[in-house]
A = this chain, B = another copy of it.
Amino acid sequence: MCELLAMSANVPTDIVFSFTGLAERGGITGPHVDGWGITFYEGKGSRTFKDACPSSQSEIASLIKRYPIKAEVVVSHIRQANRGAVCLVNTHPFSRELWGRNWTFAHNGQLTDYEDKLTPLRFTPVGNTDSELAFCWLLDSLVDKFGYQAPPEIRAVFDYIATLANELRALGVFNMLLSDGDYLLSFCSNNLCFITRKAPFGEARLVDTDVVIDFNKETTPNDVVSVIATRPLTDNEHWQTLASGQWCLFRRGECCHISEVVT
């Protein structure tokens, strides 16, 4: 279907290593050739690079692989289309502003019989994927519940988003990444895992291409970085697998909440 990748870090950190592994799955080691995208949060600002061509062939992906953009949160996606044509407008991540924050969303999975259930008023898909419609419905539901003024405690919003994501999971497969640039929510339907790297750092070796990194040389002792992915990107580290319905909230590199396993 698709593959997801995200990062949360306590200091601006580049994702060149992990993205290099993911991009291989867009045409070389994986069949996800229908576009790719990546969003970087630098402070409250964000920028998204996307392309409707395979990540393994994209000029822009090449730039992202060699030019280390340092960010606190990153959300990325490579696409194997099921709903919606292969074109820029259907390429993840999707973004919308709410409460003076840029929200970024990427989805892996497929929903069925959703059109009548997801009818947002204030946010409207530009393309025609089930993913973007689900994102618009999520944000619309936030306005229904909290109004147009940001709630004083944004943490509680993510608990509510997780309940909404669980409703979407009932409509099909719904692995999701969602961030406001501060928090990063990872919701698992059937395929999502993560790793938190902190001192003492070691070496990591990509599964998909012959690249090894020694994080000792790239980090300081206080750095904490979590990486979330559909499938582990390295083969010499322990990735924690989420169960169906389970979700994790990351902030400044740390997992600050992990829900119970739902069976």
A interface, CB within 8 angstroms of B: 42-50, 52, 59-60, 63, 67, 87-91, 96-102, 121-127, 148
Contact (Cβ within 8 A) A88 B47 = yes
Residues of B within 8 A of A123 (CB): 97
Contact (Cβ within 8 A) A47 B48 = yes
Q: How many monomers of this chain does the complex have?
A: 2
Contact (Cβ within 8 A) B49 A87 = no
A106–B173 Cα distance when bound, in Å, is: 39
- Quick one: closest B residue to A44, CB to CB? B89
Residues of B within 8 A of A88 (CB): 42-43, 45-47
Contact (Cβ within 8 A) B97 A43 = no
Residues of B within 8 A of A67 (CB): 59-60
Contact (Cβ within 8 A) A99 B124 = yes
Residues of B within 8 A of A59 (CB): 63, 67
Contact (Cβ within 8 A) A127 B45 = yes
